[in-house]
Structure 1
C-alpha cells in the first residue's frame, strides 16, 4: 500500500506540534513526528546555521494537495520547504492511515 510523507522544517518545536495537531484534527494527516535538526543554508547571501525542527506527516496520496495548501497557509517561514513523496508501507499501517484521514477513526 502507498502512503504519502511530508518533510517540513520549522523554527521551533511549538510550531511543529501546532501544525501537526491541526493537520491531524482536520483529517489532513494521520500522524506527525517531530525531530530536532541542525540546518545549514544560504539566506540573503549569508551562510546560516540554525537549530530547527522537522515535522514529518503521514497521509494518503489523495490528501497531498490539501495538506500542502494547509502547510503553505500556516507556516511561519517566508519560503518554507514542503517536501513530499510516496512510499510503500505495510498493509495494516496503510489501512490505518487511510481510515484516519477519511475520518472513519479517531474523530
Structure 2
C-alpha cells in the first residue's frame, strides 16, 4: 500500500536532514516540506510554534525503517509520525512504489 508519512520538525535544518536521509536511503520517493503554525498541548501547557511539515511519499512496507530513521535524526522527544494511505493517478503511484523500494 502506498501512502504519505506526515512528520513535523522544529526547523528547516532538521526537516531537510530527515528528508535527505529518507530519499537517499530509498525509504521515500520524494519529501515535500512547507512551513506550518501548530498549537498543541505538551506537558499540560498549550504551546504555539512555527514548524516544518514533511509529506513523505512512500510504500507502507518502509514505515518501520522510516520511523527508526526519523527518531534517530529528530530533535523532538516525541516526533509526530503518521501514515496516511493514498489513492491517485496510477502512473504516479507506480513511480512512488519504484522509488521507495
Normalising by structure 2, report the TM-score.
0.92
- How many corresponding residue pairs? 101
Moved over 2 A (4+): none
Secondary structure, in 3 states, of the residue corresponding to 2:86?
strand
User: Which structure has the larger Rg over C-alpha atoms?
Assistant: 1
Cα RMSD over matched residues? 1.2
- Listed as ranges, the gaps of 5+ residues in structure 2 are none
CA positional deviation for 1:32:
0.5
Match of 2:28 in 1: 29
Distance 2:80 2:23 in 1: 20
1:105 alignment counterpart: none
Equivalent-residue separation in structure 1 for 2:72 and 2:24 (angstroms): 16
The CA deviation string for residues 33-92 of structure 1, in whole angstroms up to 9 with x for no partner, is 111111111222222110111011000121112112211222110011101121112111
2:84 aligns with 85
Distance 2:47 2:10 in 1: 13
For normalisation by structure 1, the TM-score amounts to: 0.87
Post-superposition CA distance 1:7-36 (Å, at most 9, x none): 111000111111011100000000001111
